[in-house]
Structure 1
Amino acid sequence: MKKNLRAEFTKRQYMLSEDFEIYYYNDRNLPQGKIHMHGYHEFYFFLEGDVSIRIEDQIWELRPGDIVLIPPRTYHQAVIHDSGRPYRRFVLWISEEYCNQLRELSEDYLYFMKHVSDTGEYIIHNDVIAFNTIQAKVFGLLEEIHGQRFGKNVRIALGINGLIIHLNRIIYDQRHIKYSEDGNNLYQNLIYYIEEHLEEVLTLDVIANEFFVSKYHISHIFKDSMGISVHQYILKKRLFACKEALLGNANISEVYQSFGFKDYSSFYRAFKKEFGVSPKEFKDTKFELKAQCLGAYKKDKIR
């Protein structure tokens, strides 16, 4: 999927759109670029590579998960140290005119930009969980841009604005909420991680390793915040995801395997306990209801 969304690198430093442009680059052996500036805001999301970034007269080493905001008319340059290594990044360009339109909706959209202007802090760092959420949002936006689904333009506008406000929220939280393993950040990041990895192995040990904290501490924080265990929450999320997929007429065997259930018997027992019917009974009942509704609709049309 990501390969299809990859853009060919270009040295173009002007926008083709009046509002915004977003790209996913994955390159090797790129020539060293020159220092430059442009008349729009650039969000640079660093995914992978041996790269530093120069902004005006300072140079910063980049690490995966870093987000850089470069204001208009600010000299900058990506300094590639090892061009043979994969160099992956997202680049989001936003015009000043589009920023003015966002300002009319809410000043909250421009919090990050104002922060950079006031402090000169161009870079924010993210843990792996927070950055996974950002990546999911960006890839979802790119899929919408490259697709042809109904309501495409509306979804793109919602996606770009949602991404911008998400970035502003991150920098606001970093400035106003002191990170603590006992605070909401750990709980929220845990929720994000589970939602993005439902189809993968999600044991408490795996999650604890991702957060670099003990599994007992995660269990305690989660139980206090949600009132149920991590395992119970993951199970419920998977069951409701399967339920939604069955509503879309997906195949039962494909559904339970897609959302982390090892075998049908365990899926069957959990599904029936949660919803009171078996997966097949639920699927058949919903199909019959849809058919009845469709039949009633056709009769009304004939009348």
Structure 2
Amino acid sequence: MKKKLQTKFSTRQYMLSKDFEIYYYNDKVLSPVKAHTHDYYEFYFFLEGDMDMCIGEESFRIKHADLVLIPPNTSHYPRFIDSEKPYRRFVLWISREYLNELMQISKDYGYLMQHVLVTKQYVFHNDLINFNAIQSMIFGLIEEIKSDRFGRDAEISLRLNSLIMYLNRIVYDQNSDKSFKTEKALYLNLCDYINNHLEEDLSLDKLASEFYVSKYYISHAFKHNIGISIHQYIMKKRLMICKDAILGDDAISHVFRRYGFNDYSSFYRAFKKEYGISPKEFKSKYEISENI
């Protein structure tokens, strides 16, 4: 699956698109790259490999889960270290014009970029929780770009803007005296992950493997922050999306299977308990009200 999302590396240092470009690279051998600049913001999300990033007069050893942001007109180049590891990373280019448009909506979109321009801090270290969330968001964005689904352009814009805001929040939290505690960050990232993967396996085993923490810690963090169990939260979210889907063209039998219910009887009981009405009664009631 992920191999289909990879892009063959190019030495091109200019954008073909007006607003942004994003790539997933996985290379074992790369020719040396000379120092260069460009007129857009360049984000590196480092996944694997041994390298230094030379920015201006400084050199930074880059590690797994690091985020590197290079502002426009800033000289930089990667210096590769002999290693058997592949050089694997995401690269995101964002035009200044697109960022300015976002900042017209909210100045919060520009916090990270302004912070880098003022402080000259180009490298940001992430814990696995934050970086796994970033990685999931980026893969989702690339998958949407390569799709031909209805609403594709609007969904791409939403996903990109959400990613940019998420990066701003991470750096803001790192710089704030009231930064999130690990448990709070885990809870927030779990909510994001669950909401974006309602059609997939959301067992505790799956979540524990995604976030590299124990099942007990996940359960505790969730119960402590929201007051209900993670199972109850997932159930409520799945029932909400099923309720909306039922009003579409899909048959109820397709809807409940898509969102993780093994059989209709368990879906029926959960739906009626949550909304006080059966799925079929709900659909009929809505269709009647529409025809009045």
Q: Percent identity?
A: 52
What CA deviation, in whole Å up to 9, does each residue of 1:46-89 have, x standing for no partner?
2x3213231233131320x3221012232323344467655433
Flag the 1:266–1:83 CA change in 2: closer, same or farther, 3 A: farther
Q: Which moved more, 1:234-243 or 1:97-106?
A: 97-106
Return closer, same or farther for 1:105/1:214 CA change in 2, 3 Å cut-off. closer
What's the TM-score, normalizing by structure 1?
0.76
Report the equivalent of 1:194.
Answer: 194
Partner of residue 289, structure 1:
287
Q: Report the number of matched residues.
A: 288
Helix, strand or coil: the match of 2:44? strand
Matched, 1:19 2:19: yes
In structure 2, the CA distance between the partners of 1:32 and 1:255, relative to structure 1 (3 Å rule), is farther
Partner in structure 2 of residue 52 of structure 1: 51
User: 3-state DSSP class of the match of 1:23?
Assistant: strand
Deviations 1:143-170 (A, max 9, x none): 4444455665554444433332221122
Q: Name the CA shift for 1:193/1:11 in 2 (closer, same or farther; >3 Å).
A: same
- Identify which range, 144-153 or 105-114, moves more after superposition: 144-153
Secondary structure of the structure 2 residue equivalent to 1:42: strand
Give the drift of 1:105: 4.2
Q: What residue number does 1:240 align with? A: 240
CA RMSD, Structure 1 to Structure 2 (Å): 3.4
What is aligned with 1:31? 31
Given that 1:35 and 1:77 are in contact with CA atoms closer than 8 Å, whether structure 2 keeps it comes out as yes
Shift in CA distance, 237/124, structure 1 to aligned 2, threshold 3 Å = same
Q: Distance in 2 between matches of 1:129 and 1:86?
A: 23
Over 3 Å counting, the alpha-carbon distance change for 1:136 and 1:285 in structure 2 is farther
Deviations along 1:19-68, one digit per CA (max 9) or x if unpaired, are 3222233444343433433232101122x3213231233131320x3221
Structure 1 Cα separation of the partners of residues 257 and 98 of structure 2: 43
Distance change in 2, residues 1:284/1:162 (3 Å): closer
**1:229 Cα shift?**
1.8
Report what 1:91 is aligned to: 91
* Secondary structure in 1 matching 2:121: coil
Secondary structure in structure 2 of the residue aligned to 1:192: helix
Name 2:179's counterpart in structure 1.
178
Asked if the contact 1:43/1:69 (under 8 Å) is kept, the reply is yes
**1:120 aligns to 2:136 (yes or no):** no
Q: Counterparts of 1:212 and 1:6 in 2: how far apart (Å)?
A: 25
Change (3 A) 1:247 1:5: farther
Unpaired runs of 5+ residues, structure 2, are: none
Letter in 2 for 1:268: Y
Q: 1:259 to 1:52 in 2, by over 3 A?
A: farther
1:221–1:143 CA distance, 2 compared to 1 (3 A): closer
* Corresponding residue SS for 1:191: helix
SS of match in other structure, 1:41? strand
Counterparts of 1:84 and 1:214 in 2: how far apart (Å)?
31
Question: SS state of the match for residue 78, structure 2?
Answer: strand
Q: Which residue of 2 aligns with 1:300?
A: none
* Deviation at residue 200 of structure 1 after TM alignment: 1.0
Structure 1 residue matching 2:17: 3-state secondary structure: coil
Distance 1:247 1:131 in 2: 36
Which residue of structure 1 lines up, in the alignment, with residue 131 of structure 2?
131
How far does residue 11 in structure 1 lie from its aligned partner after superposition? 0.7
Aligned CA distance change for structure 1 residues 219 and 72 (closer, same or farther; 3 Å) = same
Alpha-carbon distance in 2 for matches of 1:78, 1:254: 49
After superposition, residues 137-152 of structure 1 pair within 5 angstroms as: 137-148=137-148, 152=152
Structure 2 counterpart of 1:7, which letter? T
Query: 2:259 corresponds to which residue?
Result: 259
Measure, in 1, the Cα distance between the counterparts of 2:257 and 2:127.
29
Task: Give the C-alpha shift of residue 92 in structure 1.
Answer: 1.5
Task: Indicate the residue corresponding to 1:301 in structure 2.
Answer: none
CA distance in 1, matches of 2:149, 2:141: 12
Instruction: State the Cα deviation string for residues 229-273 of structure 1 (Å, max 9, x = none).
Output: 222112212222333333333344544343333444433332332
Corresponding position of 1:73 = 73
1:160 partnered with 2:153 = no
Distance 1:194 1:82, change over 3 A: farther
Helix, strand or coil for the counterpart of 2:134? Answer: helix
The residue number in structure 1 matching 2:63 is: 62
Residues 53 and 79 in structure 1, CA contact (< 8 A), matched pair in contact too = yes
Q: Distance in 2 between matches of 1:186 and 1:285?
A: 40
Task: Find the aligned partners of 2:94 and 2:235 in 1 and give their Cα distance.
Answer: 40
- For 2:41, the equivalent position in structure 1 comes to 41
